[in-house]
Amino acid sequence: MIQDLIKDRRSVFPPQYIDMAIPKKNLDQILEAANWAPNHKNTEPWRFKVLQGGAKVKLGKFLSEKYQQIAERPQQVKIKKLGTYPVKSAAVIAICMQRDPKESVPEWEEVAAVAMAVQNMWLTCTEMGIGCYWSSPPLIDFMDEFFDLAEGEKCLGFLYMGYYEEELSRGTRKPISEKVVWLE
């Protein structure tokens, strides 16, 4: 049931991943789910760059080096995390948004559409037993130095993905009644 899938969705971080590749057919299915996200005026602003193998190593190196360049006081823990998260992942998907050249909708609507595409991917991963985590560090502002981004395209973060073995706890939420006002 979709409600159970939504409640079971969790952030699963790269240190929790096991060394097991995600088959391309599964990645294709995850990306196809993203492609069916709602979007205003059919701008379909989502763009993805899938990194595997050596590309993940290059991304980790870029992120850790860029962080050391821009941080006032680089922290060793952060340097290591930025370098190893991509490598520990079976795949990393760079989440990008292509701004509609006509600007037919406000930018926030295109960002929201990309977020819905990511939610579709995340739910599909949950159904497949693949863990994932959306990271959007300030370093995404420099991704035009790593990727060949099109004009009007920007990176909104990374979806780190991998299989895991540990049991995940079910999340908790405050009651929805505390967050809703009914008007008649």
Find out whether 40 is annotated in a ligand binding site.
Answer: yes
Find out whether 10 is annotated in a ligand binding site.
Answer: yes
Find out whether 170 is annotated in a ligand binding site.
Answer: no
Find out whether 177 is annotated in a ligand binding site.
Answer: no
Q: What are residue 67's phi and psi, to 5 degrees?
A: -60, -45
- Spatial CA neighbour of 146 closest among 81, 90, 86, 99: 86
Find out whether 11 is annotated in a ligand binding site.
Answer: yes
- Spatial CA neighbour of 67 closest among 79, 76, 77: 79
- Spatial CA neighbour of 12 closest among 154, 118, 134: 134
Please state, as a whole number, how many other Cβ atoms lie within 10 Å of the Cβ of residue 168.
14
Find out whether 169 is annotated in a ligand binding site.
Answer: no
Instruction: List, in sequence order, every residue forming a beta bridge with 134; answer none if it has no partner.
Output: 159
Summarize the annotated binding site for FMN as residue ranges: 9-11, 40, 134-136
Summarize the annotated binding site as residue ranges: 9-11, 40, 134-136
